[in-house]
């Protein structure tokens, strides 16, 4: 340890003998150490409250409080227990030396002092303390790095699982596209080929029937493509939300007008009892998509002559409950449990053979949750289903 390095160390000397204090403080100061001297254990503890020394030279034999007592107090204090204590003593009995070490001292220097011995022992224990500090710092840094590494590994695992999930969802999406687009497209191609090849010999009645079937295929394709586009935008996080106050009845009325042909064709009675002044806070396009999908599903799985009812109420806790209820074929508890599992096929044809991908319900759940609500489903086979979702009250 160089003299320049020693300037940064503060040494506390505790001795009731003024001569000893003068000799040792002069010696240490001459070798570049900052030195503080006190003549009792009480004053030593008071000094340490103001400034923490790097090393303590502590006399054993002192009035009022011995060096052993002072050392005991120091080592019991979490703030000071790592400060090295070197006893200054005229005692050379082995039992006295052992006592000092048991109390936590790191060394002892016998009186009368030998200059070289004092400097070597002081320098050695300051270097050891600095080494311990550096080791502790390195250990703390290593622990921090280990924590960061652990977190990074956990993040990697989470990212890998999420990536696997996304790949599975992508594959499932492709499966939906391949399966659910093929039916309407093949039907549309067959019908148009029939019209092209046999147009001259087809009766007007059959042409009307074929046209209706073509319209059904085109409508199914449009519905699926709308959901696929919304789903794709959502997965790329490109769906822009525009929160606004929405009066539900006008929104639902516009959706019903859009879907009018579907429930007229199946002779399904639609009732909308949502109050004109009931409003929610949400994104118009998302809420409209949710309403369109839920009403379409209700009509799709309700047989000819059935009923679909729409209602909305405030729950008294700042939310609005919107309900879409049908008298359709219903669902089993097992099917409900699989509705939102992307890796499980839940699609089934409607009561008039309408195609279904199951994607619409997933889209509804995602959009409802993004707008601060929840989707709940109750159903009984051959009785009907109730789709109930909440949105924040405007």
Q: Which range among 8-22, 27-41, 86-100, 207-221 shows the weakest confidence by mean pLDDT?
A: 207-221
Q: Whole-model pTM? A: 0.50
Q: What 3-state class would DSSP assign to 366? A: helix
| pLDDT single digits (tens) 149-195 | 888 888 888 888 888 877 776 666 666 566 556 656 776 777 777 77
Average pLDDT, integer, range 273-293: 92
Average pLDDT, integer, range 123-128: 91
Q: Is the pLDDT of residue 2 over 50?
A: no
Residue 225: predicted pLDDT: 73
Average pLDDT, integer, range 372-384: 94
Maximum CA extent, the chain: 132
Q: Is the pLDDT of residue 42 over 60?
A: yes
Residue 3: predicted pLDDT: 44
Nearest to 125 by CA among 106, 100, 105, 97: 106
Q: Is the pLDDT of residue 34 over 70?
A: yes
Residue 60: band (very low, low, confident or very high) from pLDDT cuts 50, 70, 90 = very high
Q: Is 103 exposed, middle or buried (0-12, 13-18, 19+ CB in 10 A)?
A: middle
Residue 106: band (very low, low, confident or very high) from pLDDT cuts 50, 70, 90 = very high
Average pLDDT, integer, range 310-317: 94
For each of the domains in the chain, give its residue range(s) and CATH number, in order of start. 8-113 (3.40.50.2300), 242-394 (3.30.565.10)
Q: Name the token pair of 179.
A: 């399966």
Residue 37: predicted pLDDT: 95
Q: If you write DSSP's letter for every residue of 138-161 in order, what string do you get?
A: HHHHHHHHHHHHHHHHHHHHHHHH
Return d(Cα 253, Cα 250) in angstroms, integer: 5
Residue 203: predicted pLDDT: 80
């Amino acid at each position: 340890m160089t003299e320049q390095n020693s300037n940064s160390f503060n040494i506390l000397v505790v001795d009731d003998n003024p001569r000893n204090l003068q000799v040792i403080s002069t010696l240490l100061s001459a070798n570049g150490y900052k030195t503080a001297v006190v003549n009792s254990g009480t004053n030593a503890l008071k000094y340490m409250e103001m400034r923490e020394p790097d090393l303590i030279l502590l006399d054993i034999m002192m009035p009022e409080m011995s060096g052993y007592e002072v050392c005991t107090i120091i080592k019991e204090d979490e703030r000071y227990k790592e400060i090295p204590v070197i006893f200054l003593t005229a005692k050379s009995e082995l039992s006295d030396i052992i006592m000092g070490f048991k109390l936590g001292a790191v060394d002892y220097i016998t009186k009368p002092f030998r200059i070289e011995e004092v400097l070597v022992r002081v320098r050695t224990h300051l270097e050891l303390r600095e080494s311990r500090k550096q080791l502790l710092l390195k250990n703390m840094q290593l622990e921090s790095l280990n924590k960061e590494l652990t977190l990074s590994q956990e993040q990697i695992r989470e990212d890998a699982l999420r990536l696997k999930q996304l790949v599975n969802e992508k594959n499932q999406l492709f499966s939906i596209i391949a399966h659910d687009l093929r039916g309407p497209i093949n039907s549309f191609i067959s019908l148009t080929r029939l019209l092209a090849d046999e147009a001259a010999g087809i009766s007007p009645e059959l042409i009307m029937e074929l046209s209706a079937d073509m319209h059904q295929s085109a409508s199914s394709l449009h519905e699926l493509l709308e959901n696929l586009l919304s789903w794709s935008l959502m997965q790329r996080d490109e769906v822009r939300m525009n929160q606004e106050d929405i009066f539900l009845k006008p929104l639902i009325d516009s959706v019903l007008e859009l879907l009018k042909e579907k429930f007229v064709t199946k002779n399904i009675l639609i009732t909308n009892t949502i109050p004109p002044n009931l409003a929610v806070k949400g994104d118009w396009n998302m809420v409209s998509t949710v309403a369109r999908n839920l009403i379409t599903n209700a009509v799709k799985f309700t047989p000819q002559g059935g009923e679909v009812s729409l209602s909305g109420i405030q729950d008294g806790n700042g939310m609005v409950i919107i309900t879409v209820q049908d008298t359709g074929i219903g669902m089993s508890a097992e099917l409900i449990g699989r509705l939102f599992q992307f890796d499980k096929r839940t699609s089934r044809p409607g009561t008039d053979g309408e195609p279904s991908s199951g994607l619409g319900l997933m889209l509804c759940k995602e959009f409802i949750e993004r707008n601060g609500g929840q989707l709940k489903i109750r159903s009984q086979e051959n009785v009907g289903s109730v789709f109930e979702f909440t949105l924040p009250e405007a």
